[in-house]
């Protein structure tokens, strides 16, 4: 009996010893959650989307049915964002708030605010919101994504599937990843890959390091049926350039290289005797452009921009969109088998030629280029201008970046749009209280989007 008592006593004492191991040690993730969590907000975006009908059919419906059928469709989007400035500025994904007419953000203390849309970019999938309050707002520190190391801790905070302020952990799995956009219009490039669990609803939330600093914005996942623990985030350094440019200058001056390009494929390689099988083939260079000044020539093949390998023209366009006008970047070209590294100071489009416009109806547009036909899946007989960005989402519903405007109808009168000059000349002449319709093409399908110009 005494032996049994001794055994039990030793066993109980051993449990106490094990329980005392690291008794006062807390996981570092707790501190990250406590410091960064209050600055993470849930975002609810609501709005209406509509596609108009041809003005000819408007008259038909009025004549026989007395009214035009309802064309607006309400939508609701849920996502995440985070406050990075005490003035109330919030970063999130563009796709979370795209086409929203009402945006509401909720904090961890359940305080809700109506947010103002400051601006966004569909190509970068970034948007900036702002909330107004007299209270002191929590913020999260922005880190440096240029100095990341594979294997370092990565912590995601967001609202996956509506479960608010969920924290998941993992590591930085890789960087410089490329993912094709869901609509096939290009790529998300230079992404951070992580195995921290990211699900729908995490979009726009922060990816943090072990010190609680934001290193990326969670934006896309691989289809769970194809792979698990594959999430991707936009590097915070790109988001910082975008955010501060938008806040300080009112716009993100996108870089302009000044080249016309196409894809390198097997037939082109054999026909021209190219020494590389991938890249963006330069058909022509705009006189006086950044490319011209740096020494890029027609016939060159761009194979790399900065740290990003270039496999085709669409990837070149996607990579260039991540740069701000005025930045210097090393562009690698193959010229008749010789590898050249050229330092290019990227410019603004308006520094070279009248290529873009953003003065009318909240639309930023540019001239249609040869490379756009493959990228946007357009027939060669379509002429017009490309919508680069919808800068004012409250004006026109139903259009998005990548749409091509070929005509504009004003009170029943049609006008062809061949370039930016046509657009500005006609748009500037529209009188108030006019019925306006834009004839657009999206992946070879013709749509009509109408609105009333007040």
CA distance 259 to 274: 19
What stretches of 131-213 adopt beta strand conformation (E)? 153-158, 166-180, 187-194, 206-208
Is 223 labelled a binding residue?
no
Residue 263, Cβ neighbours under 10 Å: how many? 18
**To which H or E segment does residue 12 belong?**
helix 2-20
Nearest CA to 257 among 342, 377, 190? 342
Instruction: List all residues 6 or more positions away from 52 whose beta carbon is below 8 Å from its beta carbon.
Output: 71, 398, 437, 447, 448, 449, 450, 451
The verdict on whether residue 336 carries a ligand-binding annotation is: no
Q: Is 165 marked as binding a ligand?
A: no
Pairwise CA distance, residues 322 & 308, whole Å: 11
Q: Is 394 annotated as a binding residue?
A: no
Around Cβ 322, how many Cβ atoms within 10 Å?
25
Active site residues: 95, 125, 203
Q: What is the three-class DSSP state of 125?
A: coil
Using CA atoms, how far residue 379 sits from 267, 370, 374, 384, 404, in Å, is 21, 11, 9, 12, 11
Q: Is 441 labelled as part of a ligand binding site?
A: no
Distances (CA, A) of 292 to 22, 82, 234, 431: 63, 41, 30, 41
Contact 191, 198 (CB under 8 A): no
Rounded to 5°, the CA angle 101-384-378 comes to 90
Interacting residues of 377 by C-beta distance below 8 A, sequence separation 6+: 184, 443, 444
- Given a contact cutoff of 8 angstroms between Cβ atoms, the answer to whether 382 and 446 are in contact is no
| Cβ neighbours of 187 (radius 10 Å) | 23
Cite the annotated binding site by residue number. Answer: 95, 125, 201-203
Cite the annotated binding site for substrate by residue number. Answer: 95, 125, 201-203
């Amino acid at each position: 009996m005494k032996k049994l008592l001794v055994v039990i006593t030793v066993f109980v004492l051993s449990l106490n010893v094990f329980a005392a191991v690291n008794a006062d040690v807390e996981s570092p993730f707790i501190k990250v959650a406590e410091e960064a969590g209050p600055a993470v907000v849930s975002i609810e975006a609501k709005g209406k989307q509509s596609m108009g009908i041809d003005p000819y059919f408007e008259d038909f419906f009025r004549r026989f049915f007395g009214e035009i059928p309802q064309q607006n469709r309400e939508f609701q989007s849920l996502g995440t964002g985070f406050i990075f400035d005490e003035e109330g500025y919030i970063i999130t994904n563009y796709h979370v708030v795209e086409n929203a007419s009402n945006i509401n953000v909720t904090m961890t203390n359940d305080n809700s605010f109506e947010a103002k849309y400051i601006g966004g970019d569909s190509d970068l999938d970034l948007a900036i919101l702002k909330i107004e309050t007299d209270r002191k707002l929590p913020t999260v520190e922005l880190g440096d994504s240029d100095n990341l190391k594979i294997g370092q801790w990565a912590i995601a905070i967001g609202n996956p599937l509506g479960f608010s302020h969920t924290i998941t952990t993992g590591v930085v799995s890789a960087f410089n990843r490329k993912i094709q956009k869901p609509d096939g219009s290009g790529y998300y490039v230079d992404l951070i890959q992580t195995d921290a669990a990211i699900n729908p609803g995490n979009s726009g939330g922060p990816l943090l390091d072990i010190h609680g600093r934001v290193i990326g914005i969670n934006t896309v996942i691989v289809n769970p049926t194809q792979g698990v623990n594959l999430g991707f985030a936009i590097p915070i350094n790109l988001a910082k350039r975008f955010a501060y440019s938008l806040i300080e200058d009112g716009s993100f001056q996108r870089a302009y290289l000044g080249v016309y390009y196409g894809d390198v494929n097997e037939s082109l390689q054999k026909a021209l005797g190219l020494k590389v099988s991938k890249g963006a083939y330069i058909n022509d260079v705009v006189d006086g452009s950044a490319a011209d000044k740096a020494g890029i020539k027609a016939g060159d093949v761009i194979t790399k921009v900065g740290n990003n390998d270039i496999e085709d023209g669409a990837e070149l366009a996607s990579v260039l969109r991540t740069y701000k006008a005025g930045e210097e970047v090393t562009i690698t070209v193959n010229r008749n088998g010789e590898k050249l590294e050229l330092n290019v100071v990227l410019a603004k489009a308006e520094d070279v030629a009248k290529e873009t416009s953003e003065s009318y109806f909240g639309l930023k547009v540019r001239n249609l280029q040869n490379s756009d036909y493959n990228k946007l899946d357009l027939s060669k007989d379509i002429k017009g201008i490309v919508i680069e960005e919808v800068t004012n989402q409250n004006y026109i519903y139903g259009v998005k970046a990548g749409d091509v405007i070929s005509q504009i109808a004003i009170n029943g009168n049609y006008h062809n749009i061949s370039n930016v000059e046509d657009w500005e000349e006609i748009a500037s002449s529209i009188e108030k209280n006019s019925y306006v319709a834009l004839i657009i093409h999206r992946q070879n399908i013709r749509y009509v989007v109408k609105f009333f110009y007040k």
